[in-house]
Amino acid sequence: MENKMFCYQCQETAGNTGCTQSGVCGKKPEVAAMQDLLIFVSKGISAVTTCLRNEGKKIDPAINHLITLNLFTTITNANFDEEAIVARIFDTLNAKKELLVQLSNTASLPEAALWDETARVNFSSKAAEVGVLSTKDEDVRSLRELITYGLKGLSAYSKHANALLKDDEDVDAFLQSALAKTLDDSLSLNDLVALTLETGKYGVNGMALLDNANTTTYGNPEITTVKIGVGNRPGILVSGHDLRDMEMLLKQTEGTGVDIYTHSEMLPAHYYPAFKKYNHFVGNYGNAWWKQKEEFETFNGPILMTTNCIVPPKESYKDRLYTTGAAGFPGCKHIAGEIGEEKDFSAIIEHAKKCAAPTEIESGEIVGGFAHNQVLALADTVVGAVKSGAIKKFVVMAGCDGRAKSRNYYTDFASALPKDTVILTAGCAKYRYNKLDLGDIGGIPRVLDAGQCNDSYSLAVIALKLKEVFDLDDINELPIVYNIAWYEQKAVIVLLALLYLGVKDIHLGPTLPGFLSANVAKVLVENFGIAPIGTVEDDIKLFFDEEENDDSRVSVSGITADSLIGDILLQYPDTAPILMSCGMHCLGCPSSQMESLADACMVHGIDVNIVLNQLNAFVTQNN
């Protein structure tokens, strides 16, 4: 893993020593180092709270909120402000000191729980000791990072629910105990794999918590047409994922002559009934987060970043960029406010009044609002379309967008999909295809947008409902395929939640996460059929050309269902464990060498396409 050049946070390119390098994210090395230290002290305080719970003591919700906000602050592209991160380290150390005196027995605590420091000057040297690469075994490190990133996603869901005054002590207790376990050297690889799946289970709980918080506060998202042009009054552009911030800003801008627009992941705010009553909530401006440099420039007015993803701003609009909550950028104004407090947005509103109206960059409308309640309200139509064959398959294309050219794949893939398929999406990945004219099937749009990445829960609810309606035993029997784009750490929890729900054969792109060691990737490939994307042409064949899949599909590795076992082993000897784990324990037998993969799978009662996926993924990873 040390030889790979990738970023632990955003997986683009850049730092090669864990998250302590300045890279494409624009973070300075000192900022990345302070993030490492904030994670370390968050793990430390979590070990203390976990011991306190084991002694039967209650943890104040304020401590839970401190830990979730710490994790949220360190997710990809949320906070670049070194001093804000250092302040959180001090707050955490102080809170931990108060908790430690309540603990009867401190003997089993890890070093992170006992570490204390009052001199800021000593933080850098400590950060250098405790970064990602301080775990030397690459498989342990890979699983610890997978769990930690999943917990960061869980913390984001919790934080958004907490902002709406909803808490789940079970989720917080798990989050903290799991964080503490990432410090525990006595855990085996199997223990860590089990903890990874348990993280997915709590991911589902965290998503349900947030879904309940959002829908009970703002109503169920409903089909909505959103304008993408502009009006002629000055505006404030709101980005990130925090709906409570959006609510407060909408209220405070009413009657001020300032319009409100959404950017990137805030688009789904338009789908909530509670926000529709605001006439000055005009529309969506622009695209996914990575286009900020052009789009914030032409917006002309101030921008409020409520969470990630921030692109380091150009000087030309930096004075118009405001942050709040977990987001931060040095030199940009930060609007404070704790859970339960009304934030004061007067400064950004006054700023907006002095700005020109946005410059129009596109016009027209997009349609969204297909979260679970809305889709289930259309269940009869949807089920009827599936039964009649009008809809052959659903393709879950949820996830993140990013600036890499390889992400054009998703636009091309969406365009190449057979006309009898419907895309289910959530997250900013949708901007790769939500403005294409993909039409509808009997009135059902071919792109159903459930909302933010945080709303991926809706896609799971829809799948589980369809499984019930079609009376299936296994979620994988549904006509749903998964081709998910990923970028930020928070998205890891969506993957883990899907794995916990039993979803198999998820394709992930544009690359598999770099923090997966070869062995951890193998576990995911063998047990869940996780596979990387291929070319658009190959993947369309793989997902839709069932006849060809049955016998002669050519995979990226060159291995087909017709390949002889002996030839596969000759070309890729390291694939033997994959074939054996699929039940082919007779590989040493000369006659098995002359069998085709399809025949061998048939004899062992295995789906040849699943084995092909696994072989393909393995060969792509290791060659």
Residue 297, Ramachandran bin (φ over 0: left; ψ between -120 and 50: alpha; else beta): alpha
Using CB under 6 A, which of the segments 109-117, 483-491, 565-573, 578-586 binds ligand SF3?
Answer: 483-491
Instruction: Measure the CA–CA gap between 430 and 31, rounded to whole angstroms.
Output: 31
Q: Measured between alpha carbons, how far is residue 217 from residues 138, 160, 172, 306, 603 in Å?
A: 44, 12, 21, 18, 55
Closest chain position to ligand SF4 (CB): 23
- Given the complex with ligand SF4, which of 39 and 582 has the nearer CB atom? 39
Tell me the backbone φ, ψ of residue 362, rounded to 5 degrees.
-165, 170
Minimum distance of ligand SF3 from residue 439's CB (angstroms): 25
- Residues that bind ligand SF4 in the complex, under the rule CB under 6 A: 7-10, 14-15, 19, 21-25, 27, 32
Partner that binds at residue 237, options ligand SF4, ligand SF3, none, CB closer than 5 to 8 Å by kind: none
Minimum distance of ligand SF3 from residue 608's CB (angstroms): 34
Indicate whether 308 belongs to the interface with ligand SF3 (CB under 6 A): yes
Minimum distance of ligand SF3 from residue 346's CB (angstroms): 27
Residue 148, Ramachandran bin (φ over 0: left; ψ between -120 and 50: alpha; else beta): alpha
Closest chain position to ligand SF3 (CB): 400
Q: Smallest Cα–Cα separation from 402: which of 517, 297, 487, 501?
A: 487
Partner that binds at residue 463, options ligand SF4, ligand SF3, none, CB closer than 5 to 8 Å by kind: none
284-303 mask for ligand SF3 (x: CB under 6 A)? -----x--------------
Query: Which residue is it, tokens 């992400």?
Result: 407
Using CB under 6 A, which of the segments 221-229, 356-364, 381-389, 486-494 binds ligand SF3?
Answer: 486-494
Minimum distance of ligand SF4 from residue 122's CB (angstroms): 21
Q: Is the dihedral of CA 512, 513, 514, 516 positive or negative?
A: negative
Minimum distance of ligand SF4 from residue 130's CB (angstroms): 15
Instruction: Measure the CA–CA gap between 152 and 169, rounded to whole angstroms.
Output: 16
Residues 6+ apart with CB under 8 A from 72: 78, 152, 155, 156, 159, 307, 325, 326
- Given the complex with ligand SF4, which of 34 and 386 has the nearer CB atom? 34
Is the previous residue joined to 309 through a cis bond, with omega within 30 degrees of 0?
A: yes
Partner that binds at residue 309, options ligand SF4, ligand SF3, none, CB closer than 5 to 8 Å by kind: ligand SF3
Size of the site for ligand SF3 (CB under 6 A): 14
Instruction: Measure the CA–CA gap between 550 and 97, rounded to whole angstroms.
Output: 63
Instruction: Measure the CA–CA gap between 151 and 200, rounded to whole angstroms.
Output: 9
Sheet (strand 507-509) strand order: 447-449, 421-425, 393-396, 480-485, 507-509, 531-532
Minimum distance of ligand SF4 from residue 10's CB (angstroms): 5
- Given the complex with ligand SF3, which of 515 and 544 has the nearer CB atom? 515
Q: Which two tokens stand for residue 270?
A: 């338009």
Indicate whether 245 belongs to the interface with ligand SF3 (CB under 6 A): no
Residues 6+ apart with CB under 8 A from 354: 234
Minimum distance of ligand SF3 from residue 122's CB (angstroms): 33
Minimum distance of ligand SF3 from residue 304's CB (angstroms): 14
| CB count in 10 Å sphere of residue 548 | 14
Minimum distance of ligand SF3 from residue 163's CB (angstroms): 16
Indicate whether 335 belongs to the interface with ligand SF3 (CB under 6 A): no
DSSP annotation of 399 reads: B
Minimum distance of ligand SF4 from residue 488's CB (angstroms): 10
Site for ligand SF3 in 380-409 (CB under 6 A): 400-401
Q: Smallest Cα–Cα separation from 81: which of 131, 30, 117?
A: 30
Indicate whether 453 belongs to the interface with ligand SF3 (CB under 6 A): yes
- Given the complex with ligand SF4, which of 15 and 509 has the nearer CB atom? 15
Instruction: Measure the CA–CA gap between 437 and 447, rounded to whole angstroms.
Output: 10
Indicate whether 264 belongs to the interface with ligand SF3 (CB under 6 A): yes
Hey, what amino acid is at 44? G
Residues 6+ apart with CB under 8 A from 426: 398, 399, 449, 450, 451, 452, 453, 455, 456, 458, 459
Indicate whether 162 belongs to the interface with ligand SF3 (CB under 6 A): no
Indicate whether 11 belongs to the interface with ligand SF3 (CB under 6 A): no
Q: Is the dihedral of CA 521, 526, 530, 534 positive or negative?
A: positive
Q: Is the dihedral of CA 583, 587, 590, 596 positive or negative?
A: positive
422-451 mask for ligand SF3 (x: CB under 6 A)? -----xx-----------------------
Please, where are the H alpha helices in 101-242?
Answer: 111-114, 123-130, 138-163, 169-181, 189-218
Pick the binder of ligand SF3 from 168, 245, 265, 455 (CB under 6 A).
265
- Given the complex with ligand SF3, which of 33 and 491 has the nearer CB atom? 491
Partner that binds at residue 24, options ligand SF4, ligand SF3, none, CB closer than 5 to 8 Å by kind: ligand SF4
Partner that binds at residue 82, options ligand SF4, ligand SF3, none, CB closer than 5 to 8 Å by kind: none
Partner that binds at residue 15, options ligand SF4, ligand SF3, none, CB closer than 5 to 8 Å by kind: ligand SF4
- Given the complex with ligand SF3, which of 23 and 44 has the nearer CB atom? 23
Binding residues for ligand SF3, rule: CB under 6 A, are: 264-265, 289, 308-309, 400-401, 427-428, 452-453, 487-488, 491
